[in-house]
Structure 1
Amino acid sequence: MTVEEFEELAKHSGERVSLEFLYGKLGVKAVPDGDHREIIRWIARQILPIRGELWLYAELELKVQAYRNGRAKADGVLAPDESFAGQQEWVDPAPALMVLEVTSYDSDTDRRDRIEKPAAYAEAGIPVYLLVDRESCESIVYSQPEDGVYSSVRRHKFGKAIDLPDPVGVTLETERFKDWVR
């Protein structure tokens, strides 16, 4: 499948699923549940008052990976205001300071959120990848992309404050995450 064929298919996928194209494979991402959305809201509520020049763009479609022209639908992308003005549906990730993913309770989460997306986001040069893993009840902060991989990976159990490194430079409280897991 070419990236053009994928983009055409994604346009017609409907509202029940989101499609992604990573490492030459078509992936299906579940529509977020209410708890998933609450985690994203909680993170935005903490970051935006401190970093008012930024915005947390929800469910943004990113062009990722030099190899095979990947496409990922990120749960959240932290970037300066108006970073994606004038771009089409699938945007250039260059302005992104951080990408946020919250795991879903589907069979593809392990491969997609824990393996493929850290690789794709590091290859794209996104400085910080925050994974809120509802299965393991931890927040994982990936940072310092070098040669297509994140050289720093820090794991924090829910309830522990986490320092998001520069260029984000914000501390997040994660106690509330415990309310939004099964």
Structure 2
Amino acid sequence: MAGRTPQMSVEEFETIAHAAPETVTLEFLGGQLGVKKGMDGDRSTIVSWMARRCMQIRPELDLCWGRGLRVDAYRQSRARPDAVLAPEAHFAGHGEWSDPDGALMVVEVTSYDSDTDRRDRHEKPAAYGQAGIPLYLLIDRDNCTVTVHSGPDRQVGGYRDARVTKFGETLVLPDPVGIELDTEILKNYVR
């Protein structure tokens, strides 16, 4: 992400993103405009599954879909994770883009497109870690794995730790989330 010349200012991006139709989701990471592929049925089912698990185990938390976040140390990037876990009503009263303070975890589910590797496996963990978000959960349908990134590094971006779990294994999300997930069901939602 570092070293690239921004395509536009953050203000220009926000104007474009605000005017985009509902069928288009735009992001602005590292000064570069990106189009996030819409959710297919399996991807949205995975996010719904996560929401149910969170509500059952931690009812005091909300899993918000498509919440716009100002990410990276200088808040010059804009991301729309598939979901953001935060205390109940944390984002009430916020506009389209929120600071990541208070977010406990961001969740991304890979889409089947050409820039998934760059965006979900490299750019997003760098931005989320630099923003200080405690956990980044990547549900990777290409590799049939779930990766929990923890220990955000605000200085260089990214996370100090990444733990990979294969679909079908039990996954424990560390504090501040503290949820155990049986990932067997995720096998049903891959191509």
Structure 1 residue ranges, 4+ long, deviating more than 3 angstroms after superposition: none
Task: Write the deviation string for residues 1-54 of structure 1: whole angstroms up to 9, x where unpaired.
Answer: 010100010112212221000001000101101100111111111121111110
Q: Which of 127, 135, 153 is 2:162 aligned to?
A: 153
Give the superposed CA RMSD.
1.0
Matched with 1:139 is: 146
State the TM-score, normalized to the length of structure 1. 0.97
Deviation at 1:155, TM superposition (A): 0.6
Q: Which of 74, 82, 85 is 2:81 aligned to?
A: 74
Distance 2:141 2:20 in 1: 26
Matched with 1:37 is: 44
Contact (CA 8 Å) 1:23, 1:68: kept in 2 or not? Answer: no
Distance 1:66 1:8 in 2: 22
Distance 1:89 1:14 in 2: 14
Instruction: Supply the AA of the counterpart residue of 1:26.
Output: L
Distance 2:63 2:75 in 1: 27
State the TM-score, normalized to the length of structure 2. 0.93
Deviation at 1:119, TM superposition (A): 0.4
Matched with 2:179 is: 170
Deviation at 1:68, TM superposition (A): 6.5
Distance 1:15 1:84 in 2: 20
User: Residue 61 in 1 paired to residue 68 in 2?
Assistant: yes
Distance 1:177 1:13 in 2: 32
Q: Which of 101, 105, 108 is 2:115 aligned to?
A: 108
Deviation at 1:67, TM superposition (A): 4.2
Distance 1:17 1:115 in 2: 22
Deviates more, 1:141-150 or 1:112-121: 141-150
Deviates more, 1:83-92 or 1:59-68: 59-68
Instruction: Supply the AA of the counterpart residue of 1:51.
Output: R
Higher strand share: 1
Instruction: Supply the AA of the counterpart residue of 2:163.
Output: R
User: Residue 96 in 1 paired to residue 103 in 2?
Assistant: yes
* Pairs aligned (count): 182
* Percent of residue pairs bearing the same amino acid type: 57
Task: Write the deviation string for residues 82-136 of structure 1: whole angstroms up to 9, x where unpaired.
Answer: 1111211101110100000000001111111000000000001000000000000
Matched with 1:86 is: 93
